[in-house]
Amino acid sequence: MFSRRLAVAGVTALVMAGLGGCSGAAAGDAAGASTGGGSHVRTVDGATTPSPDTVSGLRDGVRHVSAVTTKATRPHLVRRCTGATRRVTHTRRTGSGKRRSVRTWYTTEHYQRCGKVRQGTETYRRVTRPEHWCVRLDDVGGNRSHDDVWYRVTHTTYTDALAADDHARLEFSPRGTGC
């Protein structure tokens, strides 16, 4: 069991060391910051080589879709305790051999029985559509036929794309497609 834990710890240390080497930014370049006068968006970890899930293209537009909430009701639960009793058995053994005897007696123990019970309803705000940020790209992956493709991105990537010039080359890791 100890050798298995040691092996798992060793593998974990190697993976963390490998990931730590990939997270550093180039000299003079802040991690996650845009370069080239705001024309290029990097991934959050500042990786210089694009990963398979990285997309690139020309900035065509940005869109912020705010969250939509609605009022809803749910049961209001409160903790309620009631006094309760239980019968407790006590046993006392004395003597040994033929003179051994067992005496049993009972007592009543008082305790609190608690649980959550419904007491009316309460209103709350339910999110029907979460907030998300989108970037539209042209020439996705250098292919001129892939235009007007929307990608959902993080708020940081959205802010960088918003600051970038129109038709500037962007590169980022999207959270999903469509907006």
Q: Tens digits of per-residue pLDDT, 35-73? A: 333 334 444 444 444 446 888 888 888 999 999 999 999
Which of 125, 149, 119 shows the shortest CA–CA distance to 69?
Answer: 125
Residues 6 or more apart whose Cβ sits within 8 Å of residue 45:
22, 23, 31, 32
Which pLDDT does position 19 carry in this prediction? 59
H or E element at residue 140: none
Domain span at residue 46 reads 32-66+131-177
Q: What b/e readout covers 30-40, taking b as 16+ CB neighbours within 10 angstroms? A: eebebeeeebb
Residue 109 lies in a domain: yes
H/E run at residue 170: strand 169-172
Of 63, 64, 75, 67, the C-alpha closest to 128 is: 67
pLDDT band of 6, cuts 50, 70, 90:
low
Distance CA 7, CA 67 (A): 46
- In whole angstroms, give the CA distance from residue 101 to residue 109: 25
Same domain assignment for residues 112 and 139: no
Q: Are residue 57 and residue 135 in the same domain, yes or no?
A: yes
Amino acid 18: pLDDT:
63
Query: Is there a single domain that holds both residue 62 and residue 79?
Result: no
Q: Provide the pLDDT for residue 3.
A: 64
Domain count, the chain: 2
Whether residues 77 and 164 share a domain: the answer is no
The answer to the question of residue 81 being in a domain is: yes
Residue bearing the bigger pLDDT, 155 or 45: 155
Is 24 among the domain residues?
Answer: no
Identify the pLDDT of residue 17.
64
pLDDT at 83: 94
Q: What are phi and psi of 147, to 5 degrees?
A: -115, 160
Q: Are 146 and 60 contained in the same domain?
A: yes
